[in-house]
Structure 1
Amino acid sequence: MKTKKVWNAAIAGTLALSLAACSSTSSTNNTATNAPDKGSGTTNKPAATTSADAGKIDTSEFQTISYVMLGDKPKNGQLEKVMDKINAILKQKVNAKLEIKWVEWADWQTKYNLLLASGEPVDLITVATDWLDTWQNAQKGAFMPLDKLLPTYAPQTWKEVPPENWAETKYKNQIMLIPEDHYTQWVNHGFLYRGDWAKEFGITEPIKDWETLGKYFQSVKDKKPGVVPWDVNSTGTGSIGGYINSYTDAIEMPVNTGMFPLVYGKSYDEKYKAYSPFFDDTFVNYAKLMKEWGDKGFWRDDVLNYKGDNRQALEAGKSSVDQHHTQTFLGERIKMDKLQPGSDLQFFPFSATRNNLVSMSITHGGTSIGAKSKHPERALMVYELIRQDPEVYKLMNYGLEGVQYVIKDGKRYRPDGYDVQRDDFYSNFWGGRIDKNEIPDGNEYAGKKDIYASYDKIKKPYPYGRFVFDKAPVSNELTAITQIVGQKGPAIIFGKAGDPVKAVEDFRAKLKAAGFDKVMGEIQKQLDAYKQLVESSK
């Protein structure tokens, strides 16, 4: 996701200080929980700037706005060509230039958090509360409150986002990010697998459990020489969360414990009860299964040191699965039809085993402004154009018409002669996409509507949209726990820790010694307070 800041440098410091000192909207609650604004409606919103007012904003000073994006910087020159077009429009409309600051995927979590902690004066920042530690960074003062800036410098977006959605962006009752709440997507995870091979192996029904997946892997091992059933690398530790999703009713909570989350809500009905599946049979059963799969050779023997790309292996016909989310599947389905004709790529969502599915948080993607931004006003004006101006939006998301895409019958297609190496473009703008400006993909997988409809039948509302865990009371314990997860987790996940029962016992003992019970107690305390706030706002 991405955020943009555009402010007058001469007044940035003054405004930032005045915003931080403002007490009229500050929460009196001592916890970090986002209190639902009881009766929060449009009457509490500052009036948005009119177009006539916006014309009076002083943009005489040319400013360069940075945008922190996650991903590897494109190297084929197409990004620069598109940015030239975008910046010509930005100069004309708001006298600014946009520069993307890439946080590349190698060790991205560490690099991203270090960048935000450095105090570097970045402007717009891609954020996410569920995978980019937004609340933890907000607690450290990484972002600038936006309440008083949005109505003037991003008035369309301010009006568009409803009060109940703004409530989910607040830390201590101040807006910390702009949500990507008007873009339809599903990012629930699962396995992408080859439907043609599954049928060849006698698996005629869609895979909906890990037992069937194991049979599929074994058949690949037996019948597809040169193919690694799951050519995962050492960072692919998300399967533990998937197993929990498949075999419990637990709901992942926004509490960061490092490489993978240890703390969940017990179930949707018991959403305010903190629970860790790592201390019951769930984790033992998972560890046993991973040891079995590892011993059978379903991944490389040197998996803990392997750095290869699983998706590229799938696309090359050298692996039978990739583990990611629905949106990735939809894109890969089209890709695989071309790269591996007849592969009939299918998707096993982890939620399919027992229909344990919650809606995606509206803050899965968003944009913030850095606390030290020198140009927050102009940054918001740039963000507004990227999100709301159809021409800028299309450039940012699709590239150049005629080069990256052509439009036929209102849908987007690749031009004749398109070469993926030469012509591919991406900006990784994940912080403000919006359905009204999207151009439908003419090559979109025909089964997308059915997948979305199946999810809509079973989904439950995301229950933790306003819950912000204040880690200060257990900061030392969480640091120690995060280190243990990173040190011990991968070996268990890939069946390389010896006897799985003993490995789990050792893992649990170390967590306990690091203060896990204290952490769970603090989470439950804050969940109790959150429950009271939610119920009092009804």
Structure 2
Amino acid sequence: MFKKILCGVIMATLLLAPQLVWAGSELEPVELTWYYPGPYPQADADMVFEEFNKILKEKINATVDFKIQNWGAYEDKIRVIIAAGEEYDLCFTANWFNNYLLNVARGAFLPLDDLIDEYAPGLKALVPPAMWDATRVEGKIYGLINYQISCMTNGAYFKKELVDKYGFDVNTVKEMEDLEPFLAAVKEQDPDIYPTGIVASGGGNWAGWITHFGFDEVVGRDMPGAVRLDDTGEIPTAINQYKTDEFKKFARTVADWYQKGYVRSDALAINDATPMIKAAQMGVSFGGNCKPGNSAEYLAAHGWEIISYPISESVLKTSSIISTMHAISRTSKNPERAMMLMELLNTDKELYNLLTFGIEGIHYNKVGPNRIEPIEGSGYVPNTAWLFGCQFNAYFLPGQADTLWEDTHALNMSAVPSPILGFAFDPEPVKTEIAQCSSVVGEYMRTIDTGSCGADWEATLVEFIAKLDGAGTSRIITEIQAQLNAWKQAG
């Protein structure tokens, strides 16, 4: 029922969302500070931001101080900003990056219900009520959803040139070990290319396989606490995914790849994969969301072709709904204006596409009412249309079908619902244990995730689990189960 309610109104809400019009000259001028990640620096970012601010000033008499951070630096930077209580207005948050639930438990974000009602009616109408419910903690909304694909499909992204060269059939890939012939061929025949794109930056390698291995995370990406997607019990059972055979297999396989040279030897030290991507120096990468239009997005951003292949079924999860959001800081002096900005980025196609694709004639050329061709070698290609706002407002890129958003809707409709779809965990009772476990994850997970522990993978895994237990994993699992019990009993 949740899924039908959610998906049945997706296309309709795009047409019905109202827009507020503010008289910018009647508002006091403010500057908003916005932190978000991406493949930065971009040569023309300041040029785009200047143009963006000209338009924004006319609309709401505000400008933005863009505190853009490279993928590898963002989490550490925003963590320090939040811990220090520094003043800022907006930040990107998700279940997998700048952990949403953990930050809510820490009191880092403002509750947004009243602000949404008053300053973002378009955004409120755009997002189905069932999706807003996925963001609620103790009944309150703290995150603004960047509206787009709602389900999660893990993907493997192959360099097409190499697939063609080796005659490799991507359809044979059902498990991690099925990649071995391709990885071995890259290492042997193309030694200047890294067989995999596995490095320490971004959302993590395990994150790119978690749906494949059959888990729905509860507390946030990489945090202990999950349920199995095939759990058919009347009340789903909370588990520690790090104690499962599936995670042990993952850790063993990636460590083996590392020892065989399928993962670059300095992977643990690489916090920015952008140079490797731009140079087309990887055979296959994992992560993100395998969705309609992926390959065209990648070609437009990086200039080389990939084959985007799903390595999991498509699953509709609460965690996938909250996988890309923005929050307003508890320290914001201008939360109303910050909400106005978010309203515009989700309802104003001009502003959204400016930030997403840059300036017409400099970074892209218009070839149709809603279709563009990026200008090769331009200085602004963030390739993060999913991060800025409602992606259904994005221009179509070369190779993307005119039916892209209908195809996305169809995928949402056909996705398998998670057994805990609609469940929103309240982290408050175990926020201390979550913080302690977060520190342990930070200490160990990148080493395991990249395979950098090598032959010591099993000892490292045992040590990791023991440290998690000492940090309070059992209390987290017990609290998740108690909340699941109450959720199911409430009907």
TM-score range, shorter chain: 0.7 to 0.9
CA contact (8 A) 1:244 1:250 kept: yes
Q: 1:357 aligns with which of 315, 324, 334?
A: 315
TM-score normalised according to structure 1 size: 0.74
CA contact (8 A) 2:316 2:412 kept: no
Task: Confirm whether residue 201 of structure 1 aligns to residue 166 of structure 2.
Answer: yes
Task: Confirm whether residue 154 of structure 1 aligns to residue 120 of structure 2.
Answer: yes
5 Å-filtered alignment, 1:140-289, equals: 140-181=106-147, 183-184=148-149, 188-206=153-171, 207-235=173-201, 238-246=204-212, 248-255=213-220, 260-268=222-230, 269-270=232-233, 272-289=236-253
Q: 2:37 aligns with which of 63, 70, 73?
A: 70
Matched with 1:303 is 267
Matched with 1:89 is 55
CA contact (8 A) 2:45 2:380 kept: no
Partners of 1:333 and 1:425 in 2: CA distance: 11
1:182-225 Cα distance to aligned partner (Å, 9 max, x none): x3476643321134433543433523322220121112222223
Partners of 2:166 and 2:310 in 1: CA distance: 20
Secondary structure of 1:87's match?
helix
Aligned residue type for 1:69: Y
Secondary structure of 2:425's match?
coil
Partners of 1:118 and 1:223 in 2: CA distance: 50
CA-CA distance at 1:108 after TM superposition: 1.9
Secondary structure of 1:254's match?
coil
CA-CA distance at 1:51 after TM superposition: 8.7
CA-CA distance at 1:321 after TM superposition: 1.6
Partners of 2:248 and 2:463 in 1: CA distance: 12
CA contact (8 A) 2:144 2:327 kept: yes
CA-CA distance at 1:470 after TM superposition: 1.6
CA-CA distance at 1:273 after TM superposition: 1.1
**Alpha carbons of structure 1 residues 427 and 88: separation in structure 2 relative to 1, 3 Å:** farther
Secondary structure of 1:407's match?
strand
CA-CA distance at 1:514 after TM superposition: 3.7
CA contact (8 A) 1:369 1:376 kept: yes
Task: Confirm whether residue 433 of structure 1 aligns to residue 390 of structure 2.
Answer: yes
Task: Confirm whether residue 384 of structure 1 aligns to residue 343 of structure 2.
Answer: yes
Matched with 2:11 is none
Secondary structure of 1:321's match?
strand
Q: 1:517 aligns with which of 453, 458, 474?
A: 474
Moved over 6 A (4+): 54-58, 425-429, 445-451
Matched with 1:12 is none
Secondary structure of 1:430's match?
helix
5 Å-filtered alignment, 1:88-167, equals: 88-167=54-133
1:91-137 Cα distance to aligned partner (Å, 9 max, x none): 33322223322243333212212323333332233232443312221
Matched with 1:467 is 424
Aligned residue type for 1:347: S
Task: Confirm whether residue 293 of structure 1 aligns to residue 293 of structure 2.
Answer: no
Aligned residue type for 2:395: I
Partners of 2:244 and 2:314 in 1: CA distance: 19
Partners of 1:218 and 1:243 in 2: CA distance: 20
5 Å-filtered alignment, 1:29-44, equals: none
Secondary structure of 1:373's match?
coil
Matched with 2:308 is 347
Task: Confirm whether residue 444 of structure 1 aligns to residue 405 of structure 2.
Answer: no
CA-CA distance at 1:399 after TM superposition: 2.2
Aligned length: 466
CA-CA distance at 1:466 after TM superposition: 4.2
Identical-pair percentage: 24
CA-CA distance at 1:244 after TM superposition: 4.5
Partners of 1:448 and 1:56 in 2: CA distance: 35
CA-CA distance at 1:346 after TM superposition: 1.5
**Alpha carbons of structure 1 residues 446 and 349: separation in structure 2 relative to 1, 3 Å:** farther
Aligned residue type for 1:473: V
**Alpha carbons of structure 1 residues 80 and 410: separation in structure 2 relative to 1, 3 Å:** same
CA-CA distance at 1:520 after TM superposition: 1.9
Aligned residue type for 1:438: A
Aligned residue type for 2:469: K
CA contact (8 A) 1:103 1:112 kept: no
Partners of 1:324 and 1:485 in 2: CA distance: 19
**Alpha carbons of structure 1 residues 423 and 155: separation in structure 2 relative to 1, 3 Å:** closer
CA-CA distance at 1:474 after TM superposition: 6.0
Partners of 2:314 and 2:384 in 1: CA distance: 33
CA-CA distance at 1:458 after TM superposition: 5.4
Aligned residue type for 1:323: F
Partners of 1:361 and 1:498 in 2: CA distance: 34
Tell me which structure has the larger Cα radius of gyration.
Answer: 1
**Alpha carbons of structure 1 residues 224 and 263: separation in structure 2 relative to 1, 3 Å:** same
CA contact (8 A) 2:123 2:343 kept: yes
5 Å-filtered alignment, 1:11-50, equals: none
Aligned residue type for 1:396: L
